[in-house]
């Protein structure tokens, strides 16, 4: 097998794996939502993530005020914004962890099936 034909085969297999993974992630998402709207889930997740964002902003602002310099106000604002961003991201990650896990399970299931099929094609055993 030449390098060109091998690389075409591998690229095609990579495309199949990505496509299969995306289909599996979508099916895992639909399985988790069980007919509910993704927009409703996202809205609820954002509303829930506001509390950790506010907590992170407060912690960041307090940490920024610890220095007694002329720039402490600016520093408190920057630290507060950073804390809010970290808290918001953590809140979203925590609230959507079950949806993410379901999508990952669906993707890995599809990819595993595709890889097993390819292995069986390449390593077929003649059963008598």
CB 110 within 8 A of CB 22: no
Where are the domains positioned within the chain? 3-122
Q: Over pLDDT 90: what percentage of the chain?
A: 67
Inform me whether the pLDDT recorded for 98 exceeds 70: yes
Mean pLDDT of 19-34: 94
Higher pLDDT pick, 88 / 9:
88
Q: What ranges make up the beta strands (E) of the chain?
A: none
CA nearest 84: which of 51, 56, 62, 61?
56
Q: What does the alpha-carbon distance between residue 88 and residue 121 come to, in Å, rounded to a whole number?
A: 47
Inform me whether the pLDDT recorded for 46 exceeds 80: yes
Q: What are phi and psi of 2, to 5 degrees?
A: -75, 165
What is the C-alpha end-to-end distance of the chain, expressed in Å?
A: 29
Inform me whether the pLDDT recorded for 52 exceeds 60: yes
Sequence-ordered list of residues with C-beta below 8 angstroms from that of 85, at least 6 positions apart, any chain? 53, 56
């Amino acid at each position: 097998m030449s390098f060109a034909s091998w690389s075409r085969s591998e690229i095609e297999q990579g495309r199949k794996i990505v496509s299969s993974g995306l289909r599996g992630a979508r099916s895992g998402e639909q399985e988790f939502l069980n007919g509910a709207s993704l927009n409703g889930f996202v809205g609820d997740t954002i509303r829930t993530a506001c509390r950790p964002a506010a907590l992170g902003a407060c912690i960041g602002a307090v940490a920024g005020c610890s220095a007694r310099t002329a720039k402490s106000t600016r520093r408190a604002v920057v630290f507060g914004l950073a804390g809010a961003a970290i808290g918001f991201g953590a809140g979203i990650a925590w609230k959507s962890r079950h949806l993410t896990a379901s999508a990952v399970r669906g993707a890995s299931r599809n990819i595993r099936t595709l890889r097993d099929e390819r292995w069986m094609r390449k390593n077929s055993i003649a059963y008598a």
